[in-house]
Structure 1
């Protein structure tokens, strides 16, 4: 068994965990982070990419609203390469209660969130696909961002300051000696080797799995895993987010994302942390509610559905439904809370507030370690690279048209080049097509990997020369991740695309059947009428 010693062990490679590693490393603390898969493989990448301004929460959850606006502004400063700085429209549609609007305006004022009422005509001139029957409209600071690029940028910064980030290292249990947590026992998922990491302090940032990690030493963390379903449509029908002006509810916001349109999310589907199956009833909810904002969008081709599991911290909160649970976060010091020194847990929160969450738990950790250096993550701009161009509409196309040739294209939908793949391997140690999806958006466009997955796998094989069986397995995993969500929305023209993808992979490449429905999933055609 291999042993690693460090000052702080961070468990979880999502936004918060990587943010904690960066924060502590910048203070001079020795940090090791472990993640059971690739970075951002959990909830941090299973959302619509909205960077909330807090307008959504001003009445029901004012603390979360203030946190969101503060961090919205911070992200614009420190990660401009990951944020589309265009603002959003908040609209009142005929189904919404006009009496909500003055309360909402006052809530935004109290939270310090700047909004501006604009004419309905201005919205319809700039976004003609929006429901022409909207009654009132506002401009808000809500916007969209790229979660993978943001997490990679945080990881790159953490490494620059000396942090070690070990992906594909699964935590099997925390290690306890004389009543104190002193590390964790892990397994290297690539080699199968047992690894024990010993640390003066362990920070549990495992998100929806945080309760499971804490339970290995007999601790209880009151989390409620709540699953939401989202949809991707094949056309970018709007150029900025459009949100409804009403109390938070299912699928009341639509977001442009690169070349596609995203809608969601639903809420209230209580599940196990690893359950990312797609509830067909929730798909129908998203379609119905999206239609109210963008009439006709439900008839557009649906690329896929996917789900994300929120780690809602319930604490002592009473609630009738999951939307009443705060979207703020909590830092648990298990020494004072449970008499178990050596372990801190960070739970709850949102992707937008990851940096603030990391700062708070890092402050507590620094105090326990006797480190006096303050947090600087809100001041120092995150590193960038050429791959960040994909977030800006038209930027990748301009590059292809001016400096690349068509035979250099790996992903035609998202305009990812051979040079992008080579850069991912060289600078980010990309090993699989799924890594390229996360880093360069390979397979994220309208064919959903049908014509680029095997190109990416072949190019990776040429560059890395792994065992051919590993290449085939990685390609199958890529297809399964891309296409299990497609089955939940499949009908019409998309069924033809799925059939084409199936023929390419099973007949031409002779791979076993790629698409396997997850438990409890069914396609729209299988659904009882």
Structure 2
């Protein structure tokens, strides 16, 4: 069985669903495919932080500004897909005070609102904070529920004519005369799609899909562990104010908190070690900020794989440097109707989608503006409706399994 579509978007995470939504809202015929249910990859296996930009402010001002802008957009359009918790960067006794000062100054330069408080004031807000906390800084971080966010984007795309296929793995790609002419889908789809344009939004799998199309996308995926433990009552996201390292973030989830994370290179995003030392180190380091988590009962543990772009990582020097996104137009490599979007972070998925959609519309001759920054996601004020979208698209990831559907 064959079908035709203007645009085939491969990858059903936040970026792919965001692209499908943006295209559909601009009147473009689009098909979105994912192999294992929406949110089954990186988006649904994160710690769920809604970045304010503060984490990257001193390393990359423009990227921090983009995080802040997208943070504010999501607070307007995403409703119950996010939790407005605020964030607290804490400096412990052994942490370099100069780093804290540099981050505060960088946040000021970027325009990120901050408030510096001493250790006692920080413990008044978070009573279980370590006695080693000497000072802290409030920033507008928050929490993303990726299963809801991705499903809401897909639902809006579907409502505007998109075909969303959560169980349709790409089995082969046919290329003729510098164009992709057919993509064979397996799973529930079991058909061949003939697209006018293809977007590769498969995160750490982008290299694999690109190879199937005869082009190169060099990825450097890394794994990171998340440990959800029982702990009730934490309000803000807690960040260790030091150079990014293992176990430097605690994300509140109602009666649980998510502890993260590590950064270890992997060769295959489907087949990699899940090491006990990563769990132990993450818990130990997070307990330096919030001691009760050291002995808290573990609820669930999962690993995610970051879709890092190799040339960018090599140029920037690896962990600790801001990770923006990259839009790769494969026309530069002789493949006229395909692009890949890689890197980035969950907070900036909408901006990534807008950039990719702008490129696609330019190639297809579609004259329509992006409206996703101003249009509220469907079900944003109705958690039960959002959770129904998650069920329809088989989109439940481990990040928010304690909240979605409850």
TM-score of the superposition, structure 1-length normalised?
Answer: 0.72
The one of 249, 263, 282 equivalent to 2:278 is 282
Counterparts of 1:299 and 1:103, CA distance in 2: 33
Cα displacement (A) at 1:263: 0.6
Which residue is equivalent to 2:203? Answer: 207
Task: Please report how far the alpha carbon of residue 172 of structure 1 lies from its aligned counterpart in structure 2 after TM superposition.
Answer: 1.2
1:197 equivalent to 2:193? Answer yes
Q: Distance in 2 between matches of 1:322 and 1:279?
A: 21
Aligned partners of 2:234 and 2:254 also within 8 Å: no
Alpha-carbon distance, 1:147 to partner: 0.6
Per-residue deviation, 1:173: 2.0
Secondary structure of 2:258's partner? strand
Residue 398 (structure 1) aligns with: none
**Residue equivalent to 2:239:** 243
* Cα 1:64–1:36 shift into 2, 3 Å: same
Please report how far the alpha carbon of residue 237 of structure 1 lies from its aligned counterpart in structure 2 after TM superposition.
5.0
1:304 shift after superposition: 2.4
1:409-463 deviation digits (Å, cap 9, x = unpaired):
xxxxxxxxxxx99x83xx66649xxx4855997x648xxxxxx9xxxxxxxxxxx
Task: Give, in whole Å, the separation in 2 of the partners of 1:428 and 1:297.
Answer: 30
Residues 294-337 of structure 1: CA deviation (Å, up to 9, x unaligned): 1132111112221000010122553696305541000000002x
Name 1:7's counterpart in structure 2: 6
Structure 1 unaligned spans of 5+: 390-419, 446-451, 453-529
1:230–1:264 CA contact under 8 A, matched in 2: yes
- More deviation, 111-120/33-42: 111-120
Contact 1:22 1:158 (C-alpha < 8 Å) held by counterparts: yes
Is contact 1:237–1:261 with CA below 8 Å preserved after alignment? Answer: no
CA contact under 8 A between 1:230 and 1:262: conserved in structure 2? yes
Residue deviations 1:48-69 (CA, integer Å, cap 9, x gap): 1110111111122333212211
Query: Is 1:234–2:230 an aligned residue pair?
Result: yes
Q: How does 1:167-316 map to 2 (within 5 A)?
A: 167-187=166-186, 189-190=187-188, 194-275=190-271, 277-315=273-311
Deviates more, 1:193-202 or 1:311-320: 311-320
| Structure 1 residues 94-493: aligned runs within 5 Å | 94-187=93-186, 189-190=187-188, 194-275=190-271, 277-315=273-311, 317-318=313-314, 322-324=318-320, 326-336=322-332, 338-384=333-379, 388=383, 424=388, 430=392, 435=394, 437=396, 444=402
Q: Offset of 1:95 from its aligned partner?
A: 2.1
SS of the residue corresponding to residue 312 of structure 1 reads coil
1:74 partnered with 2:76: no
| TM-score for both structures, normalised by structure 2 | 0.93
1 CA distance for matches of 2:399 and 2:146? 12
Q: Using a 3 Å threshold, how does the CA distance of structure 1 residues 58 and 436 change in structure 2: closer, same or farther?
A: closer
C-alpha change, 1:329 and 1:238, in structure 2 (3 Å) is same
3-state SS of paired residue (1:293): coil
Work out which structure has the larger RCO, using CA pairs closer than 8 Å and 6 or more positions apart in sequence.
2
Cα distance in 2 for residues equivalent to 1:429 and 1:90: 35
- How far apart are the structure 2 equivalents of 1:82 and 1:136? 31
> How many residues are paired up?
405
RMSD, aligned CA? 2.5
The secondary structure found in structure 1 opposite 2:158 is helix
Query: Which 10-residue stretch deviates more, 304-313 or 271-280?
Result: 271-280
CA distance in 2 between partners of 1:316 and 1:240 (Å): 31
Of the two, which has the highest radius of gyration? Answer: 1
In the alignment, the residues of structure 2 paired with residue 262 and residue 317 of structure 1 have an alpha-carbon distance, to the nearest angstrom, of 26
| More helix as a share of residues | 1
1:278·1:305 contact (CA, 8 Å) conserved in 2?
A: no
Maintained 8 Å contact 1:15/1:151: yes
Q: 1:276 to 1:53 in 2, by over 3 A?
A: farther
Q: In 1, distance between residues paired with 2:15 and 2:316?
A: 28
Q: How much does 1:180 deviate?
A: 1.0
Would the aligned equivalents of 1:23 and 1:358 in 2 still touch at CA under 8 Å?
yes
Give the gaps of 5 or more residues in structure 2: none
For each residue in 1:490-523, what CA deviation from the matched residue of structure 2 results, as whole angstroms up to 9, or x when unmatched? xxxxxxxxxxxxxxxxxxxxxxxxxxxxxxxxxx
Note the alpha carbon deviations across 1:153-187, whole angstroms, 9 max, x for none. 11111111111101110001222122211341111
Name whichever structure is richer in strand by fraction: 2
